[in-house]
Amino acid sequence: MSDYKLVILGSGGVGKTACTIQFIQGSFIERYDPTIEDSYRKHFEVDGVVKVLDILDTAGQEEYSALRDSYMRTGDGFVLVFALNDPSSLTDIMDIHEQLLRSKESDEVPIVLVGNKCDLVSERAISKEECEAAVKQMGPYCRYVEASARTRTGIDEIFKSLVKLIAGYSQDVENGEVEDEPTEDKTSKQTNKKKRKVKVCSLM
């Protein structure tokens, strides 16, 4: 079994904790105290292979944003959650994505972008086209899932997709098919590539 460290990111009130608890416990919790940091572990089978997922549910409140860098540096894959009835939460996600790339020192990171609260159809304020544009901006190792923590719609698909993305990304790194350096550092790619490759593989 392989251990993957997954980090849940997003602004406050979008349903990060509700999605996580629905995945771990199979229940919907409507009221809870704002998260600072909670960790969970779950054995999860994907394509007949059991993976051990260490899941870190992080704070969305702005006062805890400084903690994100440490979470981001240690994660293998990331779930970026926004609420489909709150356009500002998608804007926040794009800012978090930029912070993630800086922290990982890479232009490509395994990500599942989650549009939560898809059950609130009449309150939807973000189009599918906007969501698809965000996914495209996040690169080839990003997938989009619309979900509802309340109804459990899409919840397992989030984590199944992320496990597959991490596995594919890791294989591509080993094969030298991924340029790990951020865009501004690509001029020094040849001298740093071996060192960066080892750094990424050591997370697995």
Domains of the chain: 2-201 (3.40.50.300)
What local confidence, expressed as pLDDT, does residue 202 receive? 31
Q: What are the tens digits of pLDDT across the range 147-201?
A: 999 999 999 999 999 999 999 999 999 888 876 554 444 434 433 433 333 333 3
pLDDT tens, 75-133? 999 999 999 999 999 999 999 999 999 999 999 999 999 999 999 999 999 999 999 99
The CA distance from 116 to 85, in Å, is 9
Nearest Cα to 144, choosing from 84, 204, 57, 88?
84
Query: pTM value?
Result: 0.84
User: Do residues 37 and 67 touch, judged by C-beta distance below 8 A?
Assistant: yes
Report how far residue 49's alpha carbon sits from residue 168's, in angstroms, rounded to the nearest whole number: 14
- C-beta of residue 60 within 8 angstroms of C-beta of residue 95: no
